[in-house]
A and B are shown apart, each in its own frame.
Chain A
């Protein structure tokens, strides 16, 4: 029978993919990585520092897009698509929705950060500096791109991680119901 026949052919065609070769080229020039890193970090800074919360949400979207680019640079296209689909299609939209619903009583003179901001600044970026410094001893290492990635991911989800997969689906259902019961308007109270 011909069902599932196409999946086997899929693996053969992966060699000589011009786009992967181009991505490898860009990575060896570091052009791709550094442009993505600059995009992600600047968007993340904007998320954290901007006063206008809607703009912060839009920059969060930019950060998500940059992370999807990082996945593409690591040749995991499926994860990149899921990142774009779930993070920017669902989570970011949800957050923007929340912002739209709650900004009616927005007061401009309110401080956007609390009193600990300088302590937190020193603390968190101290941790960042410490971490980056401690990573410096790492060698570049050799890469091990996974062969037949999409196929292997599917098999792993259905075999090794079958129980976590089911638990996650139960979690999603519970979260759906919980969110519904929390956000519902109660008649009395």
Chain B
């Protein structure tokens, strides 16, 4: 395919979804008018086929992505906490590579060592015995992982990976759809906790429900700021809005909504059950919580949905706050896709950095943080966004300067409301022979 054709790849009418639903491929700039011969005669069949193809694409994308994510997580944990395993396991002889003086070989061994670990994990999980406990509520036990996994897959239909790409394109409720289906994750985890007939699982499930509901509120309130500025819920339109701001490639909304982005990030970590908020599966307290009784394929579904949820919330954050697919050269569909992936993976790295650095908080600390800190901050963010819009709409303020004005005012406000630091308690050591 020539570069010219590549450039117009995303410009066929209605995008990929339209092509799959109707069989019509029309690229007017290249003079291509193609229709799959029989498909328009059976619109219902075409729709069903397109649904299957789409879900296949999403599932394939998610599984490949999760493999990369798991590998990345191991690498990051290995880097941060000096873990040996993930850095070394390799089909090429690792010792020889690591000790070689060739810098290229050494680089390969450090950064690509351990890439087989994910594969080994997957094979191990699939080969394990599939256990359903005797006293378990059988059908609920079986349905729970499917429920969680489906809920995590549904969100991908809304993410605009490239211009005109989103799988469900013209849905006017936009990213509200992701949250609507995200709530089924909670139900799935509750089902898993209840049906396992195990008090640790039950505790994990109930903790998870409390946590997810608590952090959904600040998350949605933080995203309300974005909706107020852009005036739309559609992801595609939000990306285009960010491109239209400012001068060159547009301004990212994080410049106008720094507080909103921060709240979104923290709430996203809590929503995806990652440390420091991994209450539901706290290994040391609840022996991994709601999925204690799960093994084999069902456990791997939980595992998969956890990572795909993480990537979903990162992609959502990248789209809403970091400009989505826009960037230099994003008129080429594939480069636009790469831009989104780079931004999303950047956020993923932040998530992993936080996970492997911070310890787990207590459950009461977590709930207090959600209700008493994040939710009021999100409300404050809405107030500030209203002020911004007022300045732009009524006062005719140049919006290019808003992003300077906003963080400064935020800083002043934070200094005003900052609690006074407590006096450091003096520890008087009575007997300290080794200090």
Of the candidates A20, A68, A90, which one forms a contact with B213 in the assembled complex, judged by CB atoms under 8 Å apart?
A: A90
Mark contacts of A1-42 with chain B using CB atoms, 8 A cut-off: 1 yes-contact digit, 0 otherwise. 111111101100110011110100110010000000000000
Chain A: number of interface residues, binned into ranges: 35 or more
Mark contacts of A54-98 with chain B using CB atoms, 8 A cut-off: 1 yes-contact digit, 0 otherwise. 110010010000001000000001101110110011101100110
Closest to B168 in A: A19
Q: Which stretch from B112-120, B182-190, B281-289, B334-342 is at the chain A interface?
A: B182-190
* Beta-carbon contact of A61 and B187 below 8 Å: yes
Closest Cβ of chain A to B386, distance in Å, is: 11
* Beta-carbon contact of B180 and A89 below 8 Å: yes
Contacts of A10 in B (CB 8 A): 172, 232, 234, 237
* Beta-carbon contact of A100 and B194 below 8 Å: yes
Q: Which stretch from B121-129, B240-248, B353-361, B419-427 is at the chain A interface?
A: B240-248
Closest to B230 in A: A6
Name, among B179, B186, B190, B206, the residue most crowded by chain A CB atoms within 10 Å (CB to CB). Answer: B190
Closest to A88 in B: B183
Closest Cβ of chain A to B402, distance in Å, is: 10
Check A46 for interface membership: any CB of B closer than 8 A: no
| Docked pose: A55 CA to B194 CA in angstroms | 11
Q: Which stretch from B14-22, B56-64, B78-86, B299-307 is at the chain A interface?
A: B14-22
* Beta-carbon contact of B137 and A54 below 8 Å: yes
Name, among B173, B191, B238, B392, the residue most crowded by chain A CB atoms within 10 Å (CB to CB). Answer: B173
Contacts of A48 in B (CB 8 A): none
| Docked pose: A25 CA to B44 CA in angstroms | 8
Check A150 for interface membership: any CB of B closer than 8 A: yes
* Beta-carbon contact of A85 and B232 below 8 Å: no
Closest Cβ of chain B to A33, distance in Å, is: 15
| Docked pose: A29 CA to B42 CA in angstroms | 13
Closest Cβ of chain A to B300, distance in Å, is: 23
Closest to A5 in B: B231
Residues 1-36 of B at the A interface (beta carbon under 8 Å): 14, 17-18, 21-22
- Could you give 28 example pairs across A and B, Cβ below 8 Å? A4-B393, A6-B230, A6-B231, A6-B237, A6-B238, A10-B172, A14-B170, A18-B21, A19-B21, A22-B21, A22-B43, A29-B44, A58-B140, A58-B191, A61-B187, A77-B172, A78-B176, A81-B173, A81-B176, A81-B180, A84-B180, A84-B184, A85-B176, A85-B180, A89-B216, A93-B187, A93-B209, A97-B206
